[in-house]
Structures are given as structure tokens and as C-alpha cells.
Structure 1
Amino acid sequence: MAVAVVGGALLSGFINIVINKSLREDVVNRLLGKKLGPGLVERLKISLLAAEAVLDDAEYRQLGDDRVREWLNSLKDAVYIADDLLDDVLTKAATQKEVCSFCPSFFLNRDRKMVDKMEGVVSRIEFLVRQKDILGLQNTTKDNNLSSPSSSSWRESTSLMMEGSIYGREDVQQDLIKIINDNSESQLSVIPIVGLGGVGKTTLAKWAYRAVKGFDDDNKVWVCISETFDVADITKRTIEAINKDSYTLGSLNLLQNKLQQILSGKKFFIVLDDVWSKDAHKWKEFITPFQCAAKGSTILLTTRNQKVASVVQTCPSFILNELSDKSCWLLFAANACFPQSNGNPILEEIGRKIIKKCNGLPLAVETLGRMLRGKDDAEEWKAVLRSDIWEFSTEDSKIIPALLISYFQLPPYLKRCFVYCSLFPKDHEFEKNELVLLWLAEDLLRVPKRGESLEEVGSECFEELASRLFFKKLQDKSYEHFTTTYLFRLPRCPADRYVMHDLLHDLAIFLAGDFYCTIQELREQEKKKVLTRHLSNLPYGRLDHPISKVFKSVVKAESLRTSLYINDLLSMESRASKLKYLRVLSFYGLGALPGSIGKLIHLRYLNLSWTNVKTLPESLCNLYNLQTLILYQCSKLTMLPDGMLKLMKLRHLVLSGTSLKEMPRGISKWKHMHILDYFVVGKHKDNGIQELGGLSNLEGSLEIKKLENVVDVRQARSARMLEKNHIDKLWLEWCSDDEMVSNRETERDILDSLQPHTGLKELRMEGYKGERFPDWVGHCSYNNMTTVWLEYCKNCCMLPSLGQLQCLKSLCISGFLELKRIGDEFYKSDSDHHSSPIAPFPSLEELVFHNMPCWEEWHVPHPEAFPRLRKLRIEDCPMLKGILWRRDCCLREDEEGRTTYY
């Protein structure tokens, strides 16, 4: 059985990580003498390398051979154990100085156990290596490594496909709209779209959702269903989708009464995507509240099963057939960027044969097209065509061979990143930062090249997967109804959102096996899953039985590495010692973090977002390996532990939404820090603004509060804000209510010394006490600036010159209590002296003025100012008399007395 397209086995990336750790024999020997080396460590490396040689063949053959699959699982389990033990050694080497000072016998006892465990796992791996010959596994070479990290010819440079383009479905689209319109007089129409997985049902439903007329936007709803049809949960999510807010009522009766109240007498359009349940009783129960809606209300439902359609439909099913060969070719060519200038008849011939094997499924065609994008070697195309994976049986699985081919071409580290996504539910909306920090904590990324940061590597990995369509960007902001869960979001950073197609999610689950599980899956299991290393409770749900029962009957707690949103995981102090190999830990709704957290010495990632924690235990500072600590919206948290500086590996500290009174002292020593989104300026030298000067790698958002504690220019200059080239969103806030300052010129000089780099995209200032702004505020060199908010600058009597910011799209001016007139100064800048000055505010789309009680006059001197303005709002400006504005404007008051421009 030939391996046609292989980028490197999933497990080989993990083995390389373990080998790299074992190379630090000097650390091992220094810690344990010769107990683990050189003999034992050398045996580990040799056996791992011998296993790696046959992994490509094993990964392929496991698809049809259960013996090979079991062999791979056993090897992976052993590699996990070896990695944990080596991590134990390295952590111990880094911390032994402190521990030995008070407990010298501690390591002697642990050393014996560690040597015994390492001896056992090395022997196990050597045994497994001997089995490869019995299984007939072959040593494969990677001469045709199409996905090597050094090769970037396939990467996406630009997209030829417009958002919303649907190939070969023009007639289908119109037919569907006609069916919807023909049922406009029915009390309630349920229209199922039925078709194979990957045939484009959801894409068609999205198009209809946007294209259908006669429904108010507020009465359009999208709800993702998937395999589990829980009436109460779906009813709750429908209410949330309509109200665009969370809902807490629990009982089905209360939920249905609420939904009936919302829908009563209204005409709505609802999409239920990916329905599997054929239970007629559940459907009848769910549909009851919808009967009170107005005529013409429609439910559009997608399903792969005609039996589901027969249960729910009120009119004939809409059958979505496979694409024609002609349409498949157009879709394939668009994604493969083929033909380019003159085309290539040889590649076209091979490509047309490839799409025939896709059986008319757009997802398969699109994915393979993107995989071959930019490749002009006919042998690479032939390798895809000849792959034995096309013969993979799909009878008992949801796996499409074309998607397997795309997976096999990924390099090992990307395979591991993709499989990790099996922990998240279907239709989960991913954010790049969310995944990158988790991948980093789980050690899934490739080794950085010289000058690269781990964050850059993670970002590149995400982009590589997205370019191959393993993730698809949600480009239309109207799709708020797709929201499911967020692990965290950096404040004021509306990040791009991505989704994974259901069939790709099925593929990830298939490849993850027993090593990745959700609590929901475990409820259906009878046998103990000793291989499980990664466990999640997503989407957020309550456990119907104590977590202790899960570990006692199903999961081996000692092996667990990931726990996502299992709240009572640490409810028993004794359990923490059994969970010592945890790398990732997230909670939701937690009241307090137990002191036992300090026992989890391997922890890399701790997420406490939106929890009610008031304090953090001092034992948290024992987490030597901690890289990411997320405290987003922990509004009751006022202080961080005194020993935070011991967390020398900390790279990401998310604090926005907390109530911190001051920062830990000496944070300039956190040399690895990349994300620090919130900084409270203290009054002391070691927690003042100068501490920011030592954090040279900061990126993303930064909110600086209590700037009134900066007393002189020297302190401000020592923050070195101009050198922080990767900060793209900056919020400067003076928190004191005292309007009087000793010297307003000093305030201006301090702000001048806080000048950020010119690549800044968003700027917000609140509570500035000076009378005038320094020249950098609004300077034309800030040509990436898209958003500016200036609030409660009570002493300012004139606005900064913002008119020449070429990319500025949104501007809010609020709380300028002494400003009386807006004139030329608002529009001019140094660029006005150029020979061809641009019109003021060339890109501005939204302009808001609020709470300006003394403002009397607004002068717009340039006839072509604000050429793209589409929204102007003026609130609480009672003295405004004259608006010298363009002749074609139309100003009117809305229902709440606000003046708005349209």
C-alpha cells in the first residue's frame, strides 16, 4: 500500500520535542548523577528515532488496520509519559535550589521513583519498536515532502473568490427563494435542505439568510444544532440569538413561554443548521412556541438525512445534489489559481481527473484546489490522483478521502495543531489568539527560527491552516448568530473569527482518538479511557455528576494535560497532586481559586476569565512554567500576589476588566512578556510607569491607567513607548476627578513623552488634564490610525489636528467641557503645506460628539471634507448654534433628541 502524499506523521513532531528535551543530558546528569544517563537517556533517543522511521507508514496504515492503530496509540501513550518525566526533570533542575534549602530529602525519594518510571517507559518503547517488523511497517523516506516548513510555494497570496460566491448553484438559489416566497401565506413553513456532507447545504442556507426579503433583520435567527437535539438547550439558544444576549431561565416550560412571548404575532425567518435527530416527539415539543408567529414565518433546516426531513417538513424537501463536473472544475481552478497566464494542459488534465474523485462535493474540491495552489509540478498533482487514500472506506465514518489527503500533506506540527481543535464543539468560532496561546502551552508548535518569537510561529501556523481552508473566516459581521463560545478576547480588539466545517471537525475527532475527549463524549463511554490526555467541557455545561466519578470510572487523572471549563476539577485538595502534569487549565464562573493550584508545577496556561475570584493564592507563584495567565473581566480582583515576579516564564498576562489598585513591583524583569494589556501606574519607583521601559516585546493592546501618578517628563520618557513597535491599540487614562493640576504645560509635556510609534491603529485618551494636545496627536505620520476616542479632557479648549489622518474611520469626542468652537485647527496638519493637500478626514465614516456643554460653533472650511461620512451623532451639546456644513447634508433629530447626519 503506497503512501502518496505525506508531510510527516502526527507523532513524529511530538517525538522530536521529546528528543530535544533529552538532549539536555547535562541537566539530567547534574540533577540525578548517572541514574538517568548517559545510558538510559541514550537508549530513549535511539528507540524514539527507530520508531520515528516507520511513523509515516504507520499513520497511513492505521486507517485500515486496527493492529497498527493500537500500536500507534501505545507508542503515543509512551511518548507522553517520557515527555512528562523529562519535563519533571527539567522543572526540578530549575527549581531545586529553592526546594533543597528546606527539604533536602525530597528529591532523593523522588529520584528513585523517577528513574524507575523512566526505565519502564524506555523499555516499553524499545518493545514497541521491536513490534514494527511483526506488523510489517516500512521505513519511508520523505523525498516528496510537499509540506516541509521551508516550502511556501503553496501559501495563499490573494484570494480570487468573492465572499458569498457559490459555483454552479444559480438555478438552485432562485428555486429556493421561490419556495420560500410561495409559502408566504402559510402559518409556518418548515423547508429542509437535504444533501450529503460537504455538498454545500450550509453555504446555501447562509446565502438564503442574506438574500431572503420580507423579514426584519431582528427577526432573522441562525441556530447551529449538530448531533445532540436537546429541546431546552436549543430553545434557550434561539432566545439568545433573537435577543442577542445570554439568558438564564433553566426549565423548558419557562423557556418555551419566553420564546412564545417573543415570537407572538411576528414574522420570522430561522435557520436550524445541521439537524440529525429523527425523534418526532422532540421536534413536536420544540416547534410548539413557533405556532403563534405571524403568517409567512419560515424555518429553513439543513440535514444529511432524508428521514430527518420527513419528520420536520411542512412542504417537500429541497434536495441539494452534487455539483456538476463543470462547476467542480470552476471551483477547483479558482482555489488552485489555475490556469494562470497561459494555463497548463497537463495539469488541467490531471486536475479534472482529481475532481471526478471528489464526487461533486464542493468542500472536497475546494480543499484540494487550495492544497495544490501555486504548485506547477505535474508529479505532485499525480501523487494526489494516485493516492490509495481515495479507496478509504467511508461507510462507517464521516470522513471524506479528499480531506484526509489534505491532512496527510500537512507537516507534523500543523497536524498536531489541527487535531487539538477536536476539543472544541462544532460551529465554535475560533480566534487566532485564542488558539495560538493554547498551542504554545501544549508545546505543539515548531521550533522558532532565528529571530522568531513563539507567538509569530503560532500565528503563522494558524494562517497556514486557514490558507488550506481548515479554518474559514467569517467575513460578514451580520453573522453574530454564529457565536458559540469564546475562551477569551483581548479588550477593544474585535478579532477576526473563524469556523471549521463540520466534516473537518469530524476528521479532527477521528484522528484525535481517545487522547482528546469531551465530557459529553465520556458520558456515552463504558470502558475506561486510560489514553485521554486532553479533556474539555465545551460548550459550557453543567456536569450531571461529580467530576470525581469521571476520573474514577473513565479517565486516568494522573495523565491529564488539558482541562477546559471543568469547574470542580480541584474541589478536593488531594486531587491536585494527582493532576500534576496539567499544562492547560480553564474555569468559568469560579468563586475562588484553591491554594492547591500551586502543586500543578507543569501548568503553562491558566484562564480565569469572567470568574468571581477576589484574590489569588500566593501558591500561584510556585507555577514556574506558567506562560499565560488570563484574568479578563475578573472584576472583583483588586491585587495580585506578592510573589508574581517568580513567574519568570510568563509571556501573556491579560488583566483588562479587573479592579487592580496597583501592579506588582519590579515587573520590568519579565523579559519574555509579549502581552500585558493593562498597567496601573503606581506612586513608587518599582511600580511606576518606568517599569514599562523594560518590557520591549509588548504587542497588541495596552491600557495604562492612573497616569496622574506620573509627576515628571523623565518618568514618562523612561516608559520608552516610542520603541514599542508592536503595540497597535493604546488607551491612556487619567483616573483622578480633580480638575486642577499644578502645571498644565507639564501635563502636556508628559503626554508628549508618551508618544507611541507611528504604526498605532487605535488611540483612546480619557481624563487628560492639559489645555492643549502635543503635536503628535493627529500628526499625519500616523497613517495606520483607524480609531480615535478622546474623552473627558475637561481643560482642553481646542481639539487636536486630526483631519489629515488618512485612514481614520471612527472618531469620538466627548466631555470637552471648556471647548466653545471647532475651527481650522481641527483639520490642518503639517501636510497642509504640501503642494497637494488631501481633503480633511478622507476616510472618516463615523463621527460622534457628546457632552460638550459650552460648544457653540462648528466651522467646516473645506468644501470636500468628510467625503465618506455616513454617520454623525451629536448628543448633549445644548449651546451648539451654528453648523457651517456642506450644502448637501441633512441633519435631523432622532427620537431621543440626538442630532444625526444621514
Structure 2
Amino acid sequence: MAPSGNFSNYACLGSEDSSNHPDLERIGESILPKLKGSPLAAITLGRMLKAIPEVSRWNSILESELWAWKQKETDILPALRLSYIYLPFYLKPCFAFCALYPKDYKFEKAKLAEIWVAEGFVEPQGGVPIQDVGCQYFEDLVAQSFFQEVNGGYVIHDLLHDMAQMVSKHDCFILRNKSDFDKVPQNVRHLYVLPSSDFDESNLPSLCKYTKLRTLICKKSLGRNACIVMGRWCTELLHMRVMSYAFTDMLPDNIGNWKNLRYLEISRPCYLKKIPSTFCWLYNMQIFYAKKCQMEMPGDFGKLISLQKFESNGLTLDSANKGGNGVRSIKNLNQIRGYLVINNLGALSKDQAAEAELKNKEYLDRLTLNMHMPRVLGYPLSHTIQNREVLEVLQPPISLKFLVLENYGGSSLPSWFQPQNLPSLESLTFVRCDGLNSINLNEILAFLSLTDLTIEWCKNISSLEDASRK
């Protein structure tokens, strides 16, 4: 379609709407030559004008001084700049922020909306979840052609990206190579570090001088000194709201300094062998993505009162922590993925165990329930009745594929242990379940997806009952 056709269609020239305002037709025809024959300019400006069918607004665009900028024959920047200027005020910072990302970056709507929320760009709207408001902002920008859908994601046209960089040149910067360290604006707020071989992690502590930083997306590996580098950042960069980095096996003890942090992401596989207790001082954190990481959860994890979304590839929890209330910290963490290990469940009452709400963790596929009771609590190693009651309220999600039951003192399995409740179960393991005297294989074989049954150190199991299917 010719640019004139694009512009006419998107601006609704010749439609019933514009016929009610004949002046719009005249103004639109006068704007058209200024687009220099560009389809992108025609679509972007046309859609923007459609959203504001007012003669005064169209006239102000036609008479804008931006058209007088000296430009090459194919330079469409004035048209795109006008499209940005006349965006609703609440969309401007959202789009300008996208200059932080490299050209051709593929955006995910929900994830970018979460970052906009963390940055404070999204205004609450009554009872609508703020993440949904952020997604609507994104849809509004799509509707005005600031994003283009490509293969399930969204991209920004190169010329629109240039325009975004122009309007945010003091706020956003991309570090591509070592020479860029001398070009970072002194008051930069949002910084993206690409994984370049031109510099190493020893250069990264120098970012501490940019004390107004609110966003740091670091795709460059922090190397063996990751904890040291992050420790420096946590000391100096106290206004951080969004932090995303590639890999670490340890978080610094002073991470609690990031009181303003709303969004934290670890993008590559790792095992966090130490999460310091100060991590639980991040009271404002809303999103924690560690999708490819395994970790041991600190006992005070439940203090992260603003946390709305948490994703990891595996989590180990000591339920006896904090007087048996450690399990409460995962009550609302329904985005846990991969595996979950809960130790010392024998220390809990039935009511405490129920707060785990395991049934709601629909992305979980591996679960270990260790019913051990620590000797330090002054109780015997197992309470048969209590064990059975506790296990009864720990029903796994229907998606579970691997279940391990350890140190169970009950003589029978819970009522939820039925094929209809665990239709995807592939592997079942019993370890030191001394209360069980026998296992009915007919019941086990009713789990049609089950391919593996393991029984270890269950000293009182004296028989495996009839294994034929009925």
C-alpha cells in the first residue's frame, strides 16, 4: 500500500468520522507531503491522529516547528518526534525507557510491563491490578505502531529506536565496548551492559560513580568476583529499582542496602549457595526472577511483604525455622518452578503445614517432603499421629511428576495419594518411612504415568502386596 493510503486509512481520512470534520480532511492532506513517502511515518502519525480527532490538535501538528528542521530527503524523524510528543503523557516515559535496549531486541509484553511498574511509570487505576494497567500501556503503544509484533514477541523499528534514544539520551545508555565507559552520561539513570569481550568484570565497579542509576541490566558475566562487584554496587548505587544480571553463585551481605529495589533477575543457570539474611530487608521488592537457578531460602523470606512474583528452578526450605513458621514464607510463592525440598516437617503442627498451600503451586514438578523432626526441639524423632496429620494437608499440585517422601512415621498414606490427584506422577520414592509396614502395589500401579518406584531404608516394610493390576 502506498504511504498516502497508509496515512489515509490509519488517520481515517475519507471515513464517516472525518466527514463530520471536513477540516480534518484538509489538514491531513497538508500533512501528507511532509511524511516524505515513508510508510512507517504514515502509519505511526496516522494512528496517533486517529486517537485525537480534534481540529486544533491536528493544526498544531501541521504547523509544528519540527517540520522546519533541516532534513534529508528521506529523513522522517520530525514525523516520528511529533508522534512521540502527542502521545498521552503516561506513555511517554514507558516508550522512552525502551531506548535502554539494543536495536532488534525482542520484548515480552508482561515482562516489560513489570519493569515499567517497578520504575514507577505506571499509575494505579482503581481496583485494576497494576501489572494489568502496565500491559494496557503496552497495548496502547502497539495500537499506535510504536511496537511491531514479530514471531510471538515485539520489536521497535530502527528509526523509532533512534527517536527513543534521542529523547532519552541523558537517561539511557548502552555499554557495548570498553571505549563506551568514557561516554556514559554523568546523570544516567538506566544502563544496559552488553556481553563484550572488549572489557572484563574489573571494569564494572567503575559504574559506582553513576549514583543516580535506577536500572542496571548487565548481560556481561561478573566472573569469579561477582559477589565483590555486586557488593560495591550495593554500597554506592542506592537508588536501584531494577537489577538484572547474568550469573552469580552468591549474593553480597549488603544487598539489603537496596531498599528501593522492586525487580531482581538472575538470567543464567546458577546455584545460590548463600542467600544472606539481609536479602529479606528488600521490603519493596515485587518481582524476583531466578528461573534457571537453584537456591536455599533464608528463614526470613516471608518478610518480603511486597513480593508478588517469584520464579526459580528449585528451592530448599527449612520448615523448622522461626519456631516452625518457616513454611509460611512460601504461601504466596505460586510461581515456584522445578523442584521444592521442604525439610524438618516433623516440627510443624497441622495448621502450620497447611500454610504452605502446595496444591496451588501449579508449575512445580518435583517435591521432597522430609518429615524429620530435629532433636534440638526436644521431641522424639517421629510422632506417628502428628506426622500423618501434617502430611494430609501437604497435598501436591496436580502437575507433580516426582515425589519423594522421607522420614514419614505414619502407618498409612494420606487420602490425597490417589491417581486422580497426581495423574502426571512418574517417579515415587520412599526413604526411611519406618511407620509403613507394607505397600500395596495395586494402588501404586494405578498411577498410569508411574515408571519408577524406589524404596530405601524403610526397615518395617516386610511385604509388597499383590502387584497384579485389577
Could you tell me the TM-score, scaled by structure 1's length?
A: 0.39
Within a 5 Å distance, the mapping from 1:487-886 to structure 2 comes to: 496-520=152-176, 523-524=179-180, 526=182, 529-538=185-194, 540-542=195-197, 544-548=199-203, 551=206, 556-565=209-218, 566-568=220-222, 571-572=228-229, 573=231, 576-615=234-273, 616-635=275-294, 637=295, 639-655=296-312, 657-658=313-314, 660=316, 665=325, 676-678=335-337, 680=340, 682=342, 683=345, 684=348, 685=350, 688=353, 690-692=355-357, 702-703=363-364, 705-706=366-367, 731-736=399-404, 746-748=416-418, 751=421, 765-767=424-426, 795-796=446-447
Does residue 463 of the first structure (1) align with residue 114 of the second (2)?
Answer: no
Mapped partners of 2:148, 2:162: distance in 1:
16
Q: 1:472 deviation in Å?
A: 1.0
Mapped partners of 2:178, 2:39: distance in 1:
33
Q: 1:519 deviation in Å?
A: 1.6
Q: CA 1:417–1:378 in structure 2 vs 1: closer, same or farther (change >3 Å)?
A: same
Mapped partners of 2:13, 2:184: distance in 1:
50
Q: 1:532 deviation in Å?
A: 1.4
Conserved? CA contact 1:716–1:750, under 8 Å: no
Q: CA 1:668–1:504 in structure 2 vs 1: closer, same or farther (change >3 Å)?
A: farther
Conserved? CA contact 1:416–1:444, under 8 Å: yes
Q: CA 1:737–1:586 in structure 2 vs 1: closer, same or farther (change >3 Å)?
A: same
Q: CA 1:670–1:737 in structure 2 vs 1: closer, same or farther (change >3 Å)?
A: closer
Conserved? CA contact 2:316–2:341, under 8 Å: no
Does residue 473 of the first structure (1) align with residue 149 of the second (2)?
Answer: yes
Q: 1:435 deviation in Å?
A: 1.1
Conserved? CA contact 2:403–2:427, under 8 Å: no
Q: 1:430 deviation in Å?
A: 0.5
Q: Relative to structure 2, which stretch is displaced further, 364-373 or 339-348?
A: 339-348
Matched residue SS, 2:284: coil
Conserved? CA contact 2:317–2:327, under 8 Å: no
Mapped partners of 1:734, 1:711: distance in 2:
20
Mapped partners of 2:8, 2:333: distance in 1:
41
Does residue 445 of the first structure (1) align with residue 122 of the second (2)?
Answer: yes
- Tell me, which stretches of 5 or more residues in structure 1 are unaligned? 1-166, 168-326, 477-495, 722-729, 753-763, 770-792, 798-813, 818-853, 855-902
Mapped partners of 2:86, 2:17: distance in 1:
28
Q: CA 1:644–1:525 in structure 2 vs 1: closer, same or farther (change >3 Å)?
A: closer
Mapped partners of 1:612, 1:537: distance in 2:
20
Mapped partners of 1:744, 1:593: distance in 2:
39
Mapped partners of 2:167, 2:334: distance in 1:
33
Does residue 454 of the first structure (1) align with residue 127 of the second (2)?
Answer: no
Partner amino acid, structure 2, of 1:556: K
Mapped partners of 2:107, 2:284: distance in 1:
26
The equivalent position to 1:373 in structure 2, one of 36, 50, 57, is: 50
Partner amino acid, structure 2, of 1:441: A
Mapped partners of 1:497, 1:450: distance in 2:
29
Match for residue 307 of structure 1? none
Match for residue 140 of structure 1? none
Does residue 357 of the first structure (1) align with residue 34 of the second (2)?
Answer: yes
Partner amino acid, structure 1, of 2:7: F
Conserved? CA contact 1:666–1:691, under 8 Å: no
Conserved? CA contact 2:297–2:315, under 8 Å: no
Mapped partners of 1:733, 1:675: distance in 2:
17
Partner amino acid, structure 1, of 2:272: K
1:315-365 deviations in Å (ceiling 9; x for gaps): xxxxxxxxxxxx223222333455445862543333232222111011100
Within a 5 Å distance, the mapping from 1:78-157 to structure 2 comes to: none
Q: 1:574 deviation in Å?
A: 5.0
Conserved? CA contact 1:570–1:596, under 8 Å: no
Structure having the higher strand fraction is: 2
Mapped partners of 2:114, 2:340: distance in 1:
24
Mapped partners of 2:177, 2:90: distance in 1:
26
Conserved? CA contact 1:653–1:677, under 8 Å: yes
Q: 1:794 deviation in Å?
A: 5.0
1:584-619 deviations in Å (ceiling 9; x for gaps): 222213343232323333322221132423322222
Matched residue SS, 2:356: helix
Partner amino acid, structure 2, of 1:457: V
Match for residue 376 of structure 2? none
Q: 1:526 deviation in Å?
A: 4.3
Does residue 335 of the first structure (1) align with residue 24 of the second (2)?
Answer: no
Q: CA 1:649–1:382 in structure 2 vs 1: closer, same or farther (change >3 Å)?
A: same
**Number of residue equivalences:** 401
Mapped partners of 2:139, 2:110: distance in 1:
12
Conserved? CA contact 1:593–1:613, under 8 Å: no
Conserved? CA contact 1:707–1:732, under 8 Å: no
Q: 1:441 deviation in Å?
A: 1.8
1:619-655 deviations in Å (ceiling 9; x for gaps): 21222222221111114x3x21112112112122111
Mapped partners of 1:516, 1:369: distance in 2:
28
Conserved? CA contact 1:337–1:374, under 8 Å: no
The equivalent position to 1:420 in structure 2, one of 97, 108, 112, is: 97
Matched residue SS, 2:399: strand
1:524-548 deviations in Å (ceiling 9; x for gaps): 464673211221113x334515555
Conserved? CA contact 1:732–1:765, under 8 Å: yes
Q: CA 1:613–1:745 in structure 2 vs 1: closer, same or farther (change >3 Å)?
A: closer
Conserved? CA contact 2:250–2:272, under 8 Å: yes
User: CA RMSD for the aligned pairs?
Assistant: 4.2
Q: 1:559 deviation in Å?
A: 2.5
Mapped partners of 1:502, 1:591: distance in 2:
37
| Percent of matched pairs sharing the same residue | 28
Within a 5 Å distance, the mapping from 1:40-55 to structure 2 comes to: none
Mapped partners of 2:184, 2:48: distance in 1:
38
Matched residue SS, 2:300: helix
Matched residue SS, 2:26: helix
Conserved? CA contact 2:262–2:284, under 8 Å: yes
Matched residue SS, 2:8: helix
Q: 1:420 deviation in Å?
A: 1.3
Conserved? CA contact 1:532–1:556, under 8 Å: no
